[in-house]
Structure 1
Amino acid sequence: MSMPHPSDPLLDVAQCYPALLARDARFDGRWFVGVTSTGVYCRPVCRVRMPKPANCRFFATAAQAEAARFRPCLKCRPELAPAAGTRWSVMDASQTLARQAAALLDGGEIESVEGLAARLGITDRHLRRIFAAEHGVTPLQYLQTRRLLLAKQLLADSALPMTEVAAAAGFGSLRRFNAAFAEHYRLQPSSLRRGAPAIATACGEPALRLAYRPPYAVDALLQFLAARAIPGIEQVDPLQRTVTRTLRVRHGGRWHAGRIVARFDAAKSLVLLSPCAAVWGATASLIPIVRRWLDLDAEPAAVDEQLGGLAAATPGLRLPGCTDRFELAVRAVLGQQITVAAARTLGARFVERFGEPLDAAQALPRVDRLFPLPERIAATPAAAIAELGIIGRRAEALIALARAWPTLRYASGEGATAEALAELEQLPGIGPWTAHYMLMRGWSWPDAFPPGDVVLRQRLSQGQPAPLSAQACQAAAERYRPYRSYAVLQLWRSPA
């Protein structure tokens, strides 16, 4: 069975129903099923009694199901489903704009259709037309569904007061929130609070549930992050399967600085996300960041099928993203031509010298500093950076990067990858390898292949009569498109 896409005009019952019968997790978040006899829509993995085919309607998105007047299931909770993900394929301009529009709405920063159209540089009318053609609903319907589902999740998973739930979900007032919730879901918001099961991270704090599609190579991801974790910024506990780190989240026109704890519950295919008090109000913007950071929306079945035998050793390997593109960019520059351990040492010195202490009320032991802001580094003399043992050319490259930051496509996350690569490679001290690595993790680009990587060349040359040239290495990786980034991670892990 092929994966449906939101632009598909109709999802066929005969195609989707067998996957529903199997409760196939590969399709979780790819579509939803509305049951006409109950008026409820569910995820494909829902454990309720199986509906008859005649009572099923299949929708590519939750917004389409809600536009058809179905309300979300209280058992499988559609708000927890992995996102369908962005397809990095050849698209026309209208498709690209429509998907960028949805991504901006998901990010939580855009609060109106007018603001969204202005951000994309198109008219409101054109936005509504291309959005409906791609997603099957209007931008306003999509935005309303996103807000309501986030509010539903906060009601079930947190103890936030009702007014704070409404504000965090993007409603202008509690009255508007109550009215929208009752109209769409035919429930009072307070009813979701009664009997909601408590859930918490290892540190005992309340946690939001974030689902992913199995398999997920959790230990491999934690190993990758642990090897690169900078003291003060990030801490990985493989035994508890947790990652704790500091971050800044922009939401509602301002920055929220704090700390999060993410714990993997592999038995339930969940990540339990516990934000500190300072960032609970920014969850609309925080959740998309965490999902990209931990690659929770990946489709491992499709990735592993394309990689073939390369994925056999570590099925479900994920592409670690980042929570801060500037932090990732700095770490990429610091790590040029040195070992991962050495880069971590330089990163620790950099954060100790130029980072900021996190508010003591939000900090945890060994997770108590914020990564330096671009403007701080832009105003720092190169000599002050070089004092940390960072060679002068790299110190100058970091300053140039920080000064260019406000105008970089890479920083905004918008535009074509080719344009962003070219822009990065024009900066001093950033070559093709570093630019590809920055987009691979900073943009969660699934098809990057850093040119000139010595380890990749060695791995791809195994079994060959002579080492492959750089050009031949690139050609050998073509068979892994459009998931070469995942192939990179598999090759880096494979034995020499």
Structure 2
Amino acid sequence: GKFYVGVASTGIYCRTVCTAKTPRRENCTFYPSAAAAEQAGFRPCLRCRPELAPGNSQIDAVSRLAGAAAGRIEEGALTEQSVADLALDLGVSERHLRRVIQSEFGVSPIELAQTQRLLLAKRLLTDTNLPIIDVAFASGFSSLRRFNALFKERYRLNPNQLRRQRDQDAVPETLICELAYRPPLDWAGLLAFLTQRLLPGVEVVEGNCYLRTVQIKKQRGWIAVEPAKGKDALRVELCATLAPVLLQLLTRVKRLFDLAADPEQIGQRLGDLAADRPGLRVPAAFDGWETALQTLCPVGQIWKLVQTLGQPIETPFPQLTHVTPTAEQVGAAAPQVWDAIAWPDAPKQRIQQLAQAVQAHQIALQPGADGEQLASFLRTELKLDESTMQYLAMRILAWPDALPTTDPATGASIPAAHRKQSDTWRPWRAYAALHLWKQ
């Protein structure tokens, strides 16, 4: 996923891991993104499947902006808003956003969005029996006609030609997708991290599998994530009710399990610190509001909030009973509801302030949000200490260079002697923090 190879003799572009016969060098052109390769007229290889490639971690300021924009586009931002609106959300001018995306990915924002939609559609056509009209809408297209036309124009295939022979009359109850990563992946470490901060009724770890309820826009359901057998990938099973928000869902899962990380690059910077667990990942938030709620609630008391304000949901799993209460629900909770929850005044007021700020769009709790604006709010309005602010930046903003000195869930901390050398870990200080917490 770091770059793609367009082969002039075949008209196909591949990942570098493709098992097809190596083409002659003079027939190869290299592109920084799948979108750039498609813009040059190449279609995706059916063998190495570029849509399965892991992404890249974004480090410097320009790359962070490009990565945040790409993440929002991958979630379907340009389906519902313009490039100008997206730029406003990210706190930059439209012209600067277009320039950054062109520089980083070699295409315009709209071209990037089209490629991401088409690659997701290709994955769904190949791996699921979701009806084609549902594939079109799940991939972010607003009409079946536009989907069919662009798919045929770009890939020289009709969607029906790519579809495997399946029982077309069957209505799928669940969908299965695979998300690739660069090995190694410390799956046990990820599960341990998440287990220490599970939201009761919303999340559970059973054996080697992470399960949770999901609410995105008006769609509700559940997912189950575990390692795919024999592959460097995670297997994501989700109920079919979440198909309309599949773009947003898969992006969130990738962030939660830090699938864009490059362990080799991080290990080179951290040295011996990363030697024992080279596949350690830094889990970002599945939902920024939810993570803030978990972090600021009194220890062991968040279940009261979930049970009181979270909406019940039916799932095949007895331990998954509710979806996380939204900022709107928490902000609108009546005094008698808070009396029933029986929290101390300080955390209750913090949560209420946070909910009101989110509702008023005073702050945004997602990657690409204005970090200085969020830090200012957390510091001045909620009176949070520096370590907690860094923890929230690490998880909510998916910022790999954040340095939380103390884990708010376990109390583990970075020894003072190690903090003095933290500059040598840049730009991967968040990974160093998790390594030291485990020690």
User: Shared topology, TM-score over 0.5?
Assistant: yes
- Does structure 2 retain, via aligned residues, the 8 Å contact 1:382–1:395? no
* 2:130 is the alignment partner of 1:160: yes
Instruction: Write the distance in 2 (CA, Å) between the matches of 1:129 and 1:219.
Output: 40
| 2:205 aligned with 1:242 | no
Q: Equivalent residue for 2:303?
A: 348
Q: Secondary structure at the match of 1:370?
A: coil
> What does 1:302-317 correspond to in 2, within 5 Å?
302-317=265-280
What SS does the corresponding residue of 1:206 show, helix, strand or coil? strand
- The offset of 1:283, in angstroms, is 0.7
| Residue 61 (structure 1) shift | 0.3
Matches within 5 A, 1:50-89: 50-87=22-59, 89=60
Q: Secondary structure at the match of 1:487?
A: helix
Q: Deviations over 1:139-178 (max 9, x none)?
A: 2221211111011011112211111111111223222211
Partners of 1:312 and 1:131 in 2: CA distance: 35
Note if 1:175 corresponds to 2:145: yes
Contact kept in structure 2, 1:84 and 1:297, CA below 8 Å: yes
8 A Cα contact 1:436 1:449, kept in partner: yes
Question: Is the CA contact (8 Å cut-off) linking 2:64 and 2:368 kept in structure 1?
Answer: no
Which segment drifts farther, 311-320 or 172-181?
Answer: 172-181
Residue in structure 2 matched with residue 340 of structure 1 by the alignment: none
Corresponding position of 2:170: none
Q: Any idea what SS the aligned residue of 1:400 has?
A: helix
**1:289-328 correspondence to structure 2 within 5 Å:** 289-328=252-291
Q: 1:22-41, aligned counterparts within 5 Å?
A: 29-41=1-13
Contact 1:247–1:323 (8 Å) recurs in 2: no
CA distance in 2, matches of 1:321, 1:458: 18
Residues 1:231 and 2:186 aligned together: no
Aligned match of 2:348 in 376, 395, 407?
A: 395
Q: Quick check: 1:277 aligned with 2:251?
A: no
1:333 paired residue number:
296
Structure 1 distance, partners of 2:410, 2:318, is 37
Q: Does the CA-based 8 Å contact 2:15-2:50 persist in structure 1? A: yes
Q: 2:71 aligns with which of 61, 83, 103?
A: 103
Q: For 2:146, what is the secondary structure of its paired residue? A: helix
Q: How far did residue 429 of structure 1 move?
A: 4.7
Residue 460 of structure 1 and its aligned partner are, at CA, apart by: 5.1
Give the partner amino acid of 2:344. I
Q: TM-score, normalised by structure 1?
A: 0.80
The one-letter amino acid paired with 1:418 is E
Q: Give 1:130 shift.
A: 4.7
Identical aligned residues as a percent: 36
Residue 433 in structure 1 maps to residue 387 in structure 2: yes
Q: Which letter does structure 1 place at the counterpart of 2:394?
A: M
Kindly indicate whether residue 397 of structure 2 is the aligned counterpart of residue 443 of structure 1: yes
Measure how far apart 1:383 and its partner are: 7.0
CA distance in 2, matches of 1:270, 1:205: 19
2:111 is matched with 141
Give the 5 Å matches for 1:415-426.
415-426=369-380
How far apart are the structure 2 equivalents of 1:410 and 1:434? 17
CA RMSD in angstroms, aligned pairs only: 2.8
Q: Any unmatched runs of 5+ in structure 1? A: 1-28, 198-203, 336-342, 462-467
| Distance 1:130-1:299 versus aligned 2 partners, 3 A rule | closer
Counterpart Cα distance in 2 of 1:263 and 1:456: 24
Distance 2:380 2:438 in 1: 31
CA shift digits 1:176-199 (9 cap, x unpaired): 2111111111111112222589xx
TM-score, L = length of structure 2: 0.90
Residues 214-264 of structure 1: CA deviation (Å, up to 9, x unaligned) = 1100111111112222331111123xx2111012223xxxx3222111121
Letter in 1 for 2:221: G
- Contact 1:456/1:491, CA 8 A, preserved across alignment: no
TM-superposed CA distance for 1:445, in Å, is 1.1
Report the Cα distance in structure 1 between the residues aligned to 2:221 and 2:426, rounded to whole angstroms. Answer: 37
AA aligned to 2:214 is L
CA apart distance, 1:452: 6.3
Q: CA deviation at 1:266?
A: 6.1
State which of 402, 416, 432 in structure 2 corresponds to 1:487.
432
Contact 2:186 2:280 in 1 (8 A): yes
CA distance in 1, matches of 2:99, 2:275: 44
Deviation per residue, 1:308-358 (Å, 9 max, x gap):
1111111110011222111100111125xxxxxxx3x32223212221101
Cα distance in 2 between the residues matched to 1:416 and 1:118:
15
Higher relative contact order (CA 8 A, sep 6+): 2
Which of 345-354 and 290-299 deviates more?
345-354
Contact between 1:258 and 1:279, CA under 8 Å: does it hold in 2? yes
1:124 Cα deviation after fit: 6.2
Quote the Cα distance in structure 1 between the aligned partners of 2:412 and 2:84: 48
